[in-house]
Structure 1
């Protein structure tokens, strides 16, 4: 009788504490007794972002397996719970469930900026760390910033400035008329806003901005409007497999107007195939980067999956290892402890020449980026070797924050 009452009292007390804190009792009990560190992973595996989500899942599984082979984190095994986020509503409910039912220490992932915002709201409410690996919207680092959200993925401003510098060098912006095709959702709207600001500041002009539904597959009407408008440069502010479809169809029309992108993922170039790519595109990481850690990652990923990793895979791998390091250094899985530690600006390996670090005022990872142009078929070593990588941006003699959004451009105030 006494043992039973004691057990009931403990359960009741834990459940009561959990309800007061706004967290389900199972999560609290599991967190208190578990000898593993649970990591929640959310990313879209269906829809127009699905091809990128597949790389995200493969990469974070590889990262977790490698950590466990090395003894885990603080001697504790890492347990991964990875799910399809589908859309903002689903992302929000699954984030809540991962935290309250499964007792995850943090959530990593996402690609859709709209879904990323939904996850961030849950993370802020439950005071749970969320590391964004694929959402680009400047608003997530600005008006919608959140103390419990960090960003491994580059902001739209970083992609625009990286690609924009190459276009300025080639005389493609100043005094030129540009036409944009923009993905019709949060990411695309934010990307066009940032792109328009950059182009205007540098003497160019957008003469049109066509919004493209995320499920669009036929771009013939858009391409005909491009032919009628006769721009000096066509800009892709598209997302996911929209880019693959547009590139392939644009090539078929053989229009004389050059194209470039302010947002890009290398899996989309692979989807288009050799001969379809053209123009200048931004890139946050590419599998040909020759640093030892980058090549080790590429080798491990390729041996396991039969193809090289692309930039979304880079985001998951860097995020998981950065968090593992922070946990080891703080000897804690507590979100507030990890946030305080990462806000100190410690530098760490991001599989590039220069180390990266998180800024304390918007939690953006500051690191190098690149631009890419397509290779001729005779220059390709294999089917994945489609693009030629530029030198790192910013240059070695410049501060890394040159391409990042400034406080004046993108103010963030943590509650």
Structure 2
């Protein structure tokens, strides 16, 4: 698939000018509070990791300008997670050597699982900002792991509602191309369930190695199979490469996907970006805190933030708000606070909260649809967006997997 204090909720994601300084509280500790940031900086997920690092950096600057965490300056340590083995070893270093207050980040679901195992053993808070696998909220859930990133079920329901409205599901045949790793396998399972329940049928399905760059064999299969819709369950730079090659092949089957990051649309560019996709957030939202975040990110990096950046920024702000509200950095106390139903301004029209049963952030989702090349206003505003899902009359939990569908039993 995808680089962040306030005493009042409305100021949570505002720029530093809108945040009130926190009182200085001395615990006889260092004046610096370390947060470990761990996410892919290279490989097929690297473009998303760059946004994650940039947004976490911005959030830390805003947090420090507002008084830090309990009067202590935040210092973020950044590492490239590369793969699950590296993620595990670096998480251990963060917790055992660097004594971080918490860990933020990750995009790869297998790496997030590895980090979750470390923090459960070390009893250190971890907020997953980019790994979508439902299993991380179900069979592989951990008491010290929380998720600002959406789970696959939420992504599938967001895009699924949109393509249902477009007449691309009921009575239609779909061909799925899926990233061959934990995220993709889980996404395909959820997607098949949703499409099947809503009257769709499978015309074909292939697993695609994450290192693949030439999609010609799969594009030939699509041409021969003539599906009603192509379902793209790829991840990271795979999506950008696929869309570019799809356009070059001149295929005209409608395209939709169930896992996405807006950076991948920008990488494909106007004309190559096609179809309808789910996002957890986008830079065109009108909520005041969303506009403040977008403006601050643009001013610092000369481009808008995308949804991976939003997630890391939000995680940093949630940590700071929580630790300041309870006046403690004790991980177990922070976990209890997050499980209590505490609400946060998350740069959307509705506040979010973490569901105690699985630690998933309950929040609105969106579907975006590519604009024709001639209608794109610039390199970034190349899509239209749906209204927030669920609608205001529905519970936020409507988008997530029901507890009985994805049961979580936290290990002791």
- Structure 1: distance between partners of 2:379 and 2:171: 38
Pairwise mapping of residues 209-288 of structure 1 onto structure 2 (< 5 A)?
A: 209-288=205-284
Pairwise mapping of residues 271-350 of structure 1 onto structure 2 (< 5 A)?
A: 271-350=267-346
Moved more, 195-204 or 359-368: 195-204
- Structure 2: distance between partners of 1:41 and 1:105: 11
Aligned match of 1:45 = 41
Q: Which runs of 5+ in 2 are unaligned?
A: 1-26
SS at match of 1:357: strand
- Structure 2: distance between partners of 1:409 and 1:178: 24
Q: Which runs of 5+ in 1 are unaligned?
A: 1-30
- Structure 1: distance between partners of 2:30 and 2:252: 62
Q: Is 1:74 equivalent to 2:65 in the alignment?
A: no
Displacement of 1:33: 4.0
Pairwise mapping of residues 15-414 of structure 1 onto structure 2 (< 5 A)?
A: 33-414=29-410
1:345–1:71 distance in 2 versus 1, CA, 3 Å: same
- Structure 1: distance between partners of 2:202 and 2:126: 35
Aligned match of 2:6 = none
SS at match of 1:282: strand
Displacement of 1:378: 4.0
Q: CA offsets per residue over residues 366-411 of structure 1, 9 Å max, x none?
A: 0001001112344333211111111111112211111111112111
- Structure 2: distance between partners of 1:150 and 1:92: 17
Q: TM-score, normalised by structure 2?
A: 0.92
Displacement of 1:346: 1.6
SS at match of 1:368: coil
1:129–1:32 distance in 2 versus 1, CA, 3 Å: farther
Q: CA offsets per residue over residues 307-355 of structure 1, 9 Å max, x none?
A: 1100000001100001101001111111100010110112110100111
- Structure 2: distance between partners of 1:322 and 1:382: 32
Higher helix share: 1
- Structure 2: distance between partners of 1:275 and 1:188: 26
- Structure 2: distance between partners of 1:112 and 1:95: 14
Q: Which has the larger radius of gyration?
A: 1
Q: TM-score, normalised by structure 1?
A: 0.91
SS at match of 1:296: helix
- Structure 1: distance between partners of 2:29 and 2:269: 50
Aligned match of 1:15 = none
State the structure with bigger RCO (CA 8 A, min sep 6), 1 or 2.
Answer: 2
SS at match of 2:44: helix
Displacement of 1:185: 0.3
Q: CA offsets per residue over residues 61-112 of structure 1, 9 Å max, x none?
A: 0000111111111111111101100100000000000111001010000000
